[in-house]
Structure 1
Amino acid sequence: MAELAALEDPRMRAVNERHGDDHGVNLSRLRAIAKRLRAQPGLAVELWDTGDTAARLLALLVCRPRQFDAGALDAMLRQSRAPKVQDWLVNYVVKRSPHAEELRVAWLADDDPVVTAAGWALTSERVQKTPEGLDLPGLLDVIEARMLRAPDRLQWAMNTALATIGIHHPALRARAVGIGERLGVLKDYPTPPGCTSPYAPAWIAEIVRRQEDSA
């Protein structure tokens, strides 16, 4: 904790707070600490239990995904309100857990939009890697009906699922693009030069173009 405190940068904190995160630690330096420590499941639990955002991010880097059961992962998601902690928990731990599918189904049906967003993040992973058994047209129905009025984090997660379906499933691409065009979600999102727009029709078109160029 003392080492993390020494890495605190007020300017970095100001930037992170604009995105809802309450820490001022450079993430590259945090990863360097994790690389030095390597996997330490016991330490990960101690770091998580501090409630400190930087400590929890480090915990997610030094834990073993299989050390947590489904109930623990569900509790961890609900305990963490910092967006970066939620993102790392889902991407670095839950996606590598044997409980990912169980949690995906449960979280999609949850009333908390932050929890539901995590369910959609796991759904995007399945859409891309293991779509067998998913009702992709049904997912598009839900996105079309609910995404426009969804809270920001949930909207972003649903939009990612929309783009992922359009990119990886050519038979549904036209419908995914059409939904994106009709809803206009993130159409005006400021995108730096050289970066891909999160607006689903533009996102789909760009990634498909890259795939075709590299084929």
Structure 2
Amino acid sequence: MAETTLAEVMVELAGLEDPRAREVNERHGDDHGVNLSRLRAVAKRLKTQQDLACQLWETGDTAARLLAILICRPKAFGRDELDGMLRAARAPKVQDWLVNYVVRKNPHAEELRRAWSADPDPVVASAGWALTAERVARKPEGLDLAGLLDVIEAEMKGAPNRLQWAMNNCLAQIGIEHAEHRARAIDIGERLAVLKDYPTSPGCTSPFAPVWINEMVRRQHGN
């Protein structure tokens, strides 16, 4: 029955394939053509099914892996299992969802954050920095924020794109959430000029850290 269920789901995912969605997704490095709202609707119907989630993941298909993330039990995975999954998750959306929807809710999240942040693979390291940025914003106790700024100052400018993006997010979160480090965070952002010219849609905030920090602080204070 489990195999039949997997087969049925794979057929359904194939039926959701949209060439225009694939074109947009592939520009961001994601090799699938399923509209994410439709994918979430499938997940809502299936509800939590850990065994099916594992089978979907094993297919290696990007849309199937995104669905697996939505229907799995985040706390059911072991540390090494998550480490292997992240290293196999080369599509950016799969990596982002795995980190945000699964690893963050797993008991091994802090251990993996430390290990991944220092990993020589920049894609793995970016996941560690994404978890660090989240901790900076939500649970900074025990973090060496000045030390994080030292690393960002030394390494962000030359980091590969996905790692650079995650480090920049961490820089911005330090500046937004921790007033005592705000001036230094803005100064680092100004000097490194990472994402300064990033195209930003009207009404959206630039990811350039000094602009991002100042705008979020302004909103927090209602100015």
Q: Is 1:64 the counterpart of 2:97 in the alignment?
A: no
Paired positions, count:
214
Residue 32 (structure 1) aligns with:
41
Which residues of structure 1 form unaligned runs of 5+?
none
Residue 113 (structure 1) aligns with:
122
The CA distance in 2 between the partners of 1:102 and 1:130, in whole Å, is: 15
Residue 95 (structure 1) aligns with:
104
The CA distance in 2 between the partners of 1:23 and 1:91, in whole Å, is: 20
The CA distance in 2 between the partners of 1:59 and 1:147, in whole Å, is: 32
Q: Give the superposed CA RMSD.
A: 0.7
Please list, as runs of the form range in 1=range in 2, the aligned pairs for 1:47-86 lying within 5 A after superposition: 47-86=56-95
Report the AA paired with residue 146 of structure 1. Answer: E
CA shift, 1:109, in A, is 1.2
Pick the aligned partner of 2:51 from 42, 45, 51.
Answer: 42
Could you give the per-residue CA deviations for residues 76-102 of structure 1, whole angstroms, max 9, x where no partner exists? 000110000000000000001110000
Residue 152 (structure 1) aligns with:
161
Query: Which secondary structure does the structure 2 equivalent of 1:140 belong to?
Result: helix
Residue 189 (structure 1) aligns with:
198
- TM-score by structure 2 length? 0.95
- TM-score by structure 1 length? 0.99
The CA distance in 1 between the partners of 2:32 and 2:139, in whole Å, is: 35
Which residues of structure 2 form unaligned runs of 5+?
1-9
Q: Which deviates further from its counterpart, 205-214 or 41-50? A: 205-214
CA shift, 1:152, in A, is 0.1
CA shift, 1:64, in A, is 0.5
Query: Which secondary structure does the structure 1 equivalent of 2:99 belong to?
Result: helix
The CA distance in 2 between the partners of 1:12 and 1:205, in whole Å, is: 34
Q: Is 1:206 the counterpart of 2:218 in the alignment?
A: no
Q: Which runs of 4+ in 1 moved over 2 A?
A: none
